[in-house]
Amino acid sequence: MNLEAIIFDLDGVIVDTAIFHYQAWKRLANELGFDLTIHQNEHLKGISRFESLEIVLEVGKINHLTKKEKEELATRKNEWYSENIHKMTPDDILPGVKVFLEKLKSAKYKIAIGSSSKNAGVILERIGYSNYFDAVIDGNKISFSKPDPEVFIKAAKELKADPRNCVVFEDAAAGIEAAHNAGMKAIGVGSPEVLCKADLIVPDFRNINISIFDKLI
């Protein structure tokens, strides 16, 4: 691999918004009369809002809702989630991320965001990264969520990079699969149990250097 570009998932990789998603889905589940465990929540990571809702409803064995009712529930969840992300500041960038991104920029690698979220723009603005990445592909620009490779293929295209020379950082099993489906290497950020299919796993970005990519070749 002749490394050209690094693509970052946003939720749970650059910022800890994965917990806000979980809190909002759990609140919705509770209102509907059932619970959503942290384990069940793993399946919601990386996929779209609507697909997530379908899984939540499946957990609660709720299968009688119309499209309109489902849309209302997804909107309600997003309103709770939005309240949290609108309070974010640059201090919410996860430990080690800023330093690592600066190292990548100094080494002249291209960097991109590849996220399924339609809220990516708001989050990037809140944390001061609106114009920081060379490309941002988010939920508004794709038709298929992870594990479909679309988001990463589009990011590579915008960066004018060969997918085979891109590395993805992901916290979701669906995201690792999407990277592989795009022909890219995937580094998991988080727990080895969830990210067992990743080419490499790191707990977070503290003490990560560019030399990490040598381990992928």
Among 3, 5, 42, 46, binds ligand BG6 (CB under 6 A): 46
Identify whether the C-beta of residue 172 lies closer than 8 Å to the C-beta of residue 48. Answer: no
Distance CA 159, CA 19 (A): 30
> Which residues, numbered 167-196, are part of the site for ligand BG6 (CB under 6 A)?
172
**Order of all β-strands in the sheet with 166-170:** 135-137, 110-114, 5-8, 166-170, 185-189, 200-202
User: Please, what is the minimum distance in Å from the beta carbon of residue 8 to Mg ion?
Assistant: 9
Point out which span in 41-49, 61-69, 88-96, 186-194 binds ligand BG6 (CB under 6 A): 41-49
Does residue 148 have an active-site annotation?
A: no
> Which residues, numbered 51-70, are part of the site for ligand BG6 (CB under 6 A)?
52
Instruction: Check residue 45 for interaction with ligand BG6 (CB under 6 A).
Output: yes
User: Please, what is the minimum distance in Å from the beta carbon of residue 204 to ligand BG6?
Assistant: 17
Give 86's contacts (C-beta < 8 A, 6+ positions apart): 122, 126
User: Please, what is the minimum distance in Å from the beta carbon of residue 83 to ligand BG6?
Assistant: 13
User: Please, what is the minimum distance in Å from the beta carbon of residue 174 to Mg ion?
Assistant: 9
Identify whether the C-beta of residue 5 lies closer than 8 Å to the C-beta of residue 109. Answer: yes
Identify whether the C-beta of residue 156 lies closer than 8 Å to the C-beta of residue 7. Answer: yes
* Dihedral sign of CA atoms 112, 113, 118, 121 in order: negative
Instruction: Check residue 9 for interaction with Mg ion (CB under 5 A).
Output: yes
Among 3, 5, 6, 11, binds ligand BG6 (CB under 6 A): 11
Helix ranges restricted to H, 8-110: 17-31, 38-41, 49-59, 67-85, 97-106
Instruction: Check residue 26 for interaction with ligand BG6 (CB under 6 A).
Output: no
What's the full length of the chain, in residues? Answer: 217
**Among candidates 157, 122, 160, 124, which has minimal Cα distance to 142?**
157
Please tell me which residue in 11, 138, 148, 171 is annotated as part of the active site: 11
Binding site partner of 41, from ligand BG6, Mg ion, none, Cβ cut-off 5-8 A by kind: none
Does residue 92 have an active-site annotation?
A: no
* Residue closer to ligand BG6, measured from CB, 48 or 133: 48
As annotated, the active-site residues are 9, 11
Query: Rule CB under 6 A: which residues touch ligand BG6?
Result: 11, 21, 44-49, 52, 78, 115-119, 139, 172
